[in-house]
Amino acid sequence: MIHNVLVTGGLGFIGSETVIALIESGYTPIIVDNLFNAKESVLGRIEVITGVSPRYYRADCCDENAMRKIFAENKFDAVIHFAGYKAVGESVEKPLEYYQNNIGSACVILKLMREFGVKNFVFSSSATVYGVPESVPLFETDPVREATNPYGATKIIIEGICKDFAKADPSFNIALLRYFNPIGAHPSGLLGEDPNGIPNNLMPYISQVAIGKLPVLHVYGNDYNTVDGTGVRDYIHVVDLAEGHVAALKKLDAGCGLVIYNLGTGKGTSVLELVKAFEDANGIKIPYQIEGRRPGDVDASYANCDKAFKELGWKTKLTVEDACRDAYNFQKKNPNGIL
């Protein structure tokens, strides 16, 4: 039975939410984070929400010796590997850093799992592995296409490493979870997305416009082949996404080899529809202006999530409006991010 779960990147946006979901489902998460993109104070906030202060190590997953000590001190039953660099634009400027950090850390973790006989692995993959989709919705059986940036390439390569690894040793259970666009925050307003500097992603940008930290939202393109010309994505509430990890662990526990799931809502929402949902949910106006397209963006990307529902019994419960309300609540309570 899976009980002790190593969560790498467990103080980050999705990692911390998953730690809460794990505690609430009776698991014992143990967190490793190097604080590259997270704050140690998240630990205290997890305790306020759950009443539990999880064991935490400040360590870098690329540091094999440090990680070996952590594996030796604990008896892990499973690993959920969130730790990694994730900024698309930055990955274009610093490809080597992205390849070394993301692929290096995944290899260290898998190697130590083999060494210590930890047989269950969940990897944070992304819808980016589908590249420029030929059609939507996207199914897990759709081809993995050429990455549009080094960040995406690391996800594709790590998926490949996992597949080869599982083939070499069929006693391993591995879930590749392809996230669509995670948004929202914990309803308490204690945890949420806290990007460094000016946000690249849509929801944190809208939230910062909402509190007056940024003057206006730039909408990148209104000439896409979509309902209103703006880009369509599958926005999933981070609390639902976290639950998806708990569901995946149960699947691994039953013994499944390598499995792949889309984690999304199955529903596409355009940029302007998201703006409207944010305005309606929070009773405020978001000023925006239309700009040219952002390089590398696609018209539409949303998931078919039937497989996750059939095989994991998981589907999203929260709406885009819920996510807009929770994101705004978090932003208001943490105008300068998590300190």
Asked if 52 contacts 26 with a C-beta cutoff of 8 angstroms, the reply is no
Widest CA span in the chain = 55
Our CB check for ligand UD1 shows the closer of 24 and 297 to be: 297
Closest to ligand UD1 by CB, 182 or 264: 182
Quote the CA–CA distance of 332 and 190 in Å, as a whole number.
11
Task: Look up residue 61 and give its two tokens.
Answer: 């997953």
Provide, rounded to whole angstroms, the least separation between the CB of residue 54 and ligand UD1: 25
* Rounded Cα gap, residues 3 and 28, in angstroms: 6
CB of 105 or CB of 126, closer to ligand UD1 = 126
Whole-number minimum distance, CB 116 to ligand UD1, in Å? 30
Q: Which of 92, 83, 31 is nearest to 56 (CA)?
A: 31
- Clarify whether 151 is annotated catalytic: yes
| Residue nearest ligand UD1, CB atom distance | 231
Q: How far is the CB of 270 from ligand UD1 (least distance, A)?
A: 8
Nearest to ligand UD1 of 137, 182 (CB atom):
182
Report the DSSP beta bridge partners of residue 31: 7, 56
**Choice among 27, 151, 224, 261 that is catalytic:** 151
Joined tokens for residue 21: 């979901």
**Minimal distance in Å, beta carbon 101 to ligand UD1?**
16
Residues that bind ligand UD1 (CB under 6 A): 88, 126, 128, 148-149, 151-152, 181-182, 200-202, 205, 218-220, 231, 233, 271, 294, 296-297
Q: What is the DSSP string of 2-60?
A: --EEEEETTTSHHHHHHHHHHHHTT-EEEEEE--SSS-TTHHHHHHHHHS---EEEE--
Residue 207, sorted as left (phi over 0), alpha (psi -120 to 50) or beta, turns out to be alpha
**Taking the complex as a whole, how short is the minimal distance between the CB of residue 151 and ligand UD1, in angstroms?**
6
173 vs 270, which CB is nearer to ligand UD1? 270
DSSP 135: S
Q: What is the C-alpha to C-alpha distance for residues 27 and 332, in angstroms, rounded to an integer? A: 31
Show Cβ contacts of residue 116 under 8 Å, excluding neighbours closer than 6 positions.
71, 72, 76
Catalytic residues: 151
